[in-house]
Every structure is written in C-alpha cells, then in structure tokens.
C-alpha cells in the first residue's frame, strides 16, 4: 500500500556492477491556487496565491495561509471552502456576508516556491512590516527534558516521509508532550499552514498552551506563522536563521533548534524551560 501524498515511479538503480530496474516512491508535488470569493461576487473569486504542495488537507492549507497572512482572523468568517474546476488544484474560499478582504496586507508575489518560502516576499522590509504577531507573555514553564522525546513521536507520524524521505513535517504537542496533530508536505511552510488551518477550523486558536515541532529548520516565515497562531514554544530539529531568531525574540517565542541526539540549543526566551 502506497502512503497518501506519494507516488510510485519506475527507476534504474546504478550499482557498482551495473544497473537494475526497480520501483520507487516519491513525494507528490502539485500546484494549488487559492482564490477568495467575497459576498456579492461571482465566479471563481480573486487569486491570492499559488503554492507547490503535496495534495491533501488543502482546505486546512488555504485557511492556514490566509490566517498567517492576516487576511483571515476567525473561522466564522468563512462560509465554505470547495474546489473550483476539474483538476482539484484550485480551491475557492467563500467568505461570509460583511467580511472584507484587506488585500493591502498581502505583500507577496502570487507564486511561492515550496522550497524557498520567504523569498516570495517583495522585500524583508515588507515582511517585517506586514506580520501579525503579538508579543506573548511567559505564563507557563515545562521541564526542558520533555522536548527530547518529541522528535521520535513526530517521526512515527510521518508515514509519507518514511516512504519517500522527501517531505517536511510539523507536529502539534501539548505541554505534557502528547502529539495532537501532525501534517506533512513538500513545503515546510505548507505543512505549518495545514496545521494552523486545522486548528482554525475547529476554533482552537490561539495555540497558547502548545508546543510546535518542525522536522527541519526554523525560518523567518515559520516563526511568523507560529507567532500569528499564538505558539509560545517553537522547536526545530534543524537550524534557525538569524531573522527567525530576531522575530522570536521580539514576539516572546521560545525558540529551540538542533533538537536531536539528546540535546538542543535555546535561542530565545529560555525561561519557559526549567
């Protein structure tokens, strides 16, 4: 059985003594166009973004993207989300009557590469001026040793990664270290959008009592999306960027990285860890 989000392909494997034909599985990557239709408008609505993603949880991805960009603050603003067209790669978000879309906040090109994330922004200045991140207060602490067990729990939930080795994952954990939800995608920012959108859809934002773990590095855009969702503790198995550290410091987010091999680095607001 092939896991969701992967596709079987035929390959030639090069060996020391020649080649052999065999099957392999790869991560699926397809475009998703997000369109928004305000009350009173007709047709497919306005194109907001095109992202290369792994199909699955597209509704959550769209909701999370709109939330992270500051265009959608409340799930009650959405009337319905449904595919538009025959391909399944266009998604239309229909807003409730009276909900206006502040497109001036969207300082993004309409194409966002799944690999580059923040490079779709017009400039760093546009990014930093458009983020909707409020500073979080430290109102709880955890034993820092709890973080050491989270990567293995996330890894167990990464079915598509196990098959392909080619997808990023984001996991949502309680303060006790229990895995609540995990999402995979070829784009790390898409995986975060799927997670945030899933919580938005059940009116579970902000994530003030949660820990979010990234399977890869911590970029500025992921810290931005975490901050907009109210995540107070963001951990990454990979490295952080300088701008991610700066934003986490400003937003009151505890940023942990290089969480592996029984150790981690604390970059900002380490008082949450005892």
Q: How many CB atoms lie within 10 A of CB 180?
A: 16
253: three-class secondary structure by DSSP: coil
> 22, 38, 116, 119: which one is catalytic?
116
CB-count exposure of residue 139 (10 Å: 0-12, 13-18, 19+): exposed
Q: Verify whether residue 22 is a known catalytic residue.
A: no
Which candidate, 132, 166, 153, 151, places its Cα nearest to that of 251?
Answer: 132
Identify the bridge partners of residue 12 per DSSP, sorted by sequence position. Answer: 21
CA distance 210 to 257: 17
CA distance 226 to 211: 10
Answer whether 229's CB lies under 8 Å from 199's CB.
yes
CA distance 65 to 49: 9
CA distances from 112 to 24, 213, 217 (A): 28, 23, 18
CA distance 225 to 192: 7
CA distance 162 to 3: 9
Answer whether 108's CB lies under 8 Å from 121's CB.
yes
Q: Which residues are annotated as catalytic? A: 116
């Amino acid at each position: 059985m092939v896991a969701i989000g992967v596709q079987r392909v035929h390959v030639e494997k090069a060996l020391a003594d020649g080649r052999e034909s065999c099957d392999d599985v790869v991560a699926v990557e397809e475009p998703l166009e997000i369109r928004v239709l305000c009350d009173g408008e007709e047709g497919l609505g306005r194109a907001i973004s095109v992202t290369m993603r792994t199909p699955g949880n597209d509704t959550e991805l769209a909701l999370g993207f709109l939330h992270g960009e500051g265009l959608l603050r409340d799930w009650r603003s959405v009337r319905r989300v449904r595919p538009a067209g025959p391909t399944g790669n266009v998604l239309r978000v229909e807003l409730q009557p009276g909900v206006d879309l502040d497109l001036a906040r969207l300082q993004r090109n309409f194409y966002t590469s799944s690999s580059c994330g923040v490079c779709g922004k017009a400039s760093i200045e546009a990014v930093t001026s458009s983020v909707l991140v409020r500073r979080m207060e430290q109102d709880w602490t955890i034993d820092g040793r709890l973080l050491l067990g989270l990567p293995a729990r996330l890894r167990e939930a990464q079915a598509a990664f196990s098959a392909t080795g080619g997808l990023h994952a984001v996991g949502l954990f309680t303060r006790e270290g229990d895995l609540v939800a995990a999402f995979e995608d070829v784009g790390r920012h898409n995986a975060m959008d799927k997670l945030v959108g899933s919580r938005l859809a059940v009116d579970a934002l902000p994530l003030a009592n949660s820990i979010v773990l990234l399977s890869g590095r911590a970029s500025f855009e992921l810290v931005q999306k975490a901050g907009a969702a109210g995540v107070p503790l963001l951990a990454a198995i990979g490295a952080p960027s300088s701008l991610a550290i700066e934003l986490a410091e400003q937003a009151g987010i505890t940023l942990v990285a290089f969480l592996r091999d029984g150790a981690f680095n604390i970059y900002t607001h380490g008082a949450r860890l005892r």
